[in-house]
Amino acid sequence: MLSIPQYLDFSNTGKTKEICSFFLELLQRKSEVLYLHSQQVANYAASVAAKLGLSRKEIGIIRTAALLHDIGLLSVPNSIMYKFPYLSTRELAQYKRHCVAGCSMLENMEEFAGIIDLIRCHHEKWDGTGYPKRLKGVNIPLGARIIAVADYYDSVINPSYTQWQKSHQEALQELLSAMGTAFDPEIVKAFMEAVVPGNTLRTGTVYAPKGSHNLSPYSISEKSVKQMSPSPVSTIAFVPLKTSGAAGTGVPSALTNSSGDLSSIRFPLILLT
């Protein structure tokens, strides 16, 4: 059973520690992967909250919510959990109910009043396409926005099945590509700085091909580079994978092909403006 760290800001009344330990033991008995995932998400969320300069109390609340964010999955069969995200319409609807199910398990418990909304909203998206309430932007609680980023990152680097697993760099690239859509850009930046110490998001300018205003943020061909307009249309940010760049390009060498040219480069970037 997980021993709850002493520095969490639990209430002096009630049985918060005991209840947390109870739910975490249930998660462990259901799925060791889910149990470890909850701990990892809690650690990432606390790191991001600290990076954002939140108070000790707020960090404790967010970490507690992160520990219990998936307790609603106790009501979802393992056969569905292990198939995610490749689910049928009916299975997906059942899976999505886990946010509300988790809140229902904690309702009427005064000790958890501060984390219920965070658990309910951890699958809401910055652009309003998430669930269960389709909240948008700052209407999503800050703690839930933090948990969403931490949850996604750990889900892709430690999935239920190893054949779905992605590398640390790939996960960071996907987070960047979802800035402003699925995730709060400021939270992603703080997460990047927390998990890649000493690095911050670097920005650059994207030039659109002549006569075009629809430059894809995911791939730029050598032909497109040659046709670029002198007028910048967008600002981008990319993952600081390597400090050394391909000769004469200013592009991280990890993003170029073996010959170091710009043909068929796949940029892990996000249009910011």
| Angstrom distance (rounded) from CA 182 to CA 179 | 6
Do 138 and 253 reside in the same domain of the chain?
no
Of 147, 187, 3, the C-alpha closest to 61 is: 147
Rounded mean pLDDT of 69-74? 96
Rounded mean pLDDT of 128-139? 96
Q: What is the CATH number of the domain that holds 190?
A: 1.10.3210.10
Q: For residue 143, is pLDDT > 60?
A: yes
User: Which pLDDT score, from 0 to 100, does residue 84 have?
Assistant: 80
Residue 11 lies in a domain: no
User: Which pLDDT score, from 0 to 100, does residue 238 have?
Assistant: 39
* Contact assessment for residue 69 and residue 61, using Cβ atoms and an 8 Å cutoff: no
User: Which pLDDT score, from 0 to 100, does residue 85 have?
Assistant: 79
Note if the pTM is more than 0.75.
no
Of 175, 151, 166, the C-alpha closest to 237 is: 175
Residue 131 lies in a domain: yes
User: Which pLDDT score, from 0 to 100, does residue 248 have?
Assistant: 36
User: Which pLDDT score, from 0 to 100, does residue 239 have?
Assistant: 39
Amino acid letter at 127?
A: D
pLDDT > 70 fraction of the chain, expressed in percent and rounded: 65
Do 178 and 267 reside in the same domain of the chain?
no
Do 138 and 60 reside in the same domain of the chain?
yes
* Domain end call among 195, 222, 239: 195
Host domain of residue 115: 16-195
Q: Which helix (H) or strand (E) holds 215?
A: none
pLDDT > 90 fraction of the chain, expressed in percent and rounded: 52
* Domain end call among 149, 179, 195: 195
Do 206 and 73 reside in the same domain of the chain?
no
Give the count of domains, the chain.
Answer: 2
Range in 111-125, 126-140, 253-267 the model is least confident about: 253-267
| Angstrom distance (rounded) from CA 58 to CA 64 | 10
Greater pLDDT, 231 or 138 = 138
Q: What does the pLDDT look like over 199-258, one tens digit per residue?
A: 555 443 333 344 444 333 333 333 333 333 333 333 334 333 333 344 433 333 333 334
User: Which pLDDT score, from 0 to 100, does residue 158 have?
Assistant: 83
* H-only helix segments in the chain: 16-30, 32-51, 56-67, 78-81, 89-96, 98-106, 116-120, 142-157, 168-177, 185-195, 222-226
Do 67 and 190 reside in the same domain of the chain?
yes
| Angstrom distance (rounded) from CA 154 to CA 158 | 6
